[in-house]
Amino acid sequence: MSIILFGLNHRTAPLEVRERLTFPAATLEESLVRLTGLEPVREGLILSTCNRTELLAHTRNGFGDTAEVMRSFLASERGFPPEDLDRYCYRMTDREAIHHLFRVAASLDSMVLGEAQILGQVKDAYQAALKAKSIGTVLDPLLRKALGVAKKIRTETGIARHPVSISYAAVTLARTIFEDLSGRKILLIGAGKMSELASRHLVERGIGSVLVANRSLPRAVELAQKFGGEAVQFDRILEHLEQVDIVISSTAAPYPIIKYEDVVRLIRARRNRPIFFIDIAVPRDIEPRVNTIDNVFLYDLDDLMGVVASSRAEREGAARVAEEIVRKEAEAFHALVRALDLSPVIVGVRQRLDTIRAGEMERFRSRLSGLTDEQQRAVEEMTGSLLNKILHHPIRALKESVHHKDGTDRVRFFREVFGIHEPPAGGDEPAGSAPGTPGRGENDDPDRS
């Protein structure tokens, strides 16, 4: 049983690469169906956010084959040269993959340490996988455990005491541009979660006025009313850009909605009055070369990293506590997965040796014919007891192997010694639901812990 993770994040790939490799939410389930239709992938999950795209898979085959399949899948799905992926992507297996997933869910691997949004994004990825029926007896309990560990960390440590998000960092950047926001006018493009968070932070800091543009006008009206702002028509964005000082854009558009030529005309209409764009969308909403126009200042997600770094120190004490929780929980879950993987091995060894014992008993049956029925039963019990005693120490050593880094090699050696072959990739799962997890009911809540 193998758990494999293949992906990239804000540390390994620049924004121009990350935006090309994101999976739109509307097509995620279809992509999951295609992923799990590939050999040797048995279960799959895709986590795609503004800062990372990660594929998680369960397979019975070797890591190398599956990692290569996942690499080819990502390249094909997003139209990206597969040879270029190696410059940006990482591969993790079993213990390391479990530990990484727990860190991601707990926001320990986020651009903004302690931010709350990633937990919701992991939940969304989990729900998409459930709908696509792409996870089962291994990844389902793994995701549920990851969500539980994240909740535990947010409850038991101070990592979330001062809520921070990309939207918060964007507003912090706006305050560095204009020390006093009270007389400033800001246009929010997009009325999703990012924009709502930005609106809340802006209102708390006394922003002068907020305009909200969204493709769905009712949603723009709803958000604007919530924060005392004004909704505007999405197709009239360029007109309103002439009046505002700061633009924060966060839509799900697959292409830039503000082009270089638009801003060239805009800055003329503004008589060269400066305007600041903060683009927190992936893919980006504003063409990057807009930043080359005089009196136009454009910041994107990668630029926010400096803002984030300055607020990281105050949460690092809590992060150390959180890291230890993750380490212990990941090790415990890994041991459970490995123990589950041993069940068919142990059963196979017992069945194989018992078959040999029964065959030998039958071969010597004629020579035991002089024994009474009671004596023959005694011989049966004695050989069975002898078999159990012979297997006692090897099986105990096998179970303890789950705690060793070379445990996979030990299990493989055990299989070879006793002639126990791994089932084919398409074979049945071992009996049982999942490691230490009862079958999931239709109405079970993955948030409960």
- One-letter amino acid at 105 equals A
Q: Are residues 6 and 67 in contact, defined by beta-carbon separation less than 8 angstroms?
A: yes
Query: How many residues would you count in the chain?
Result: 449
Find, among 192, 203, 200, 189, the residue nearest to 163 by Cα: 200
Q: Are residues 98 and 7 in contact, defined by beta-carbon separation less than 8 angstroms?
A: no
Residue 87's SS3 state is coil
Distance between the two ends of the chain, CA-based, in angstroms?
26
Q: How far apart are CA 112 and CA 140, in angstroms?
A: 27
Q: Could you tell me whether strands 90-93 and 2-9 are parallel, antiparallel, or unpaired per DSSP bridges?
A: antiparallel
Q: Note if the bond before 394 is cis, omega within 30 degrees.
A: no
89 catalytic residue (yes or no)? no
Set 5, 21, 50, 189: catalytic member:
50
DSSP 8-class letter at 257? S
* Residue 349 CB contacts under 8 Å (≥ 6 apart), including other chains: 391, 394, 395, 414, 418, 420
Catalytic residues, which ones?
50
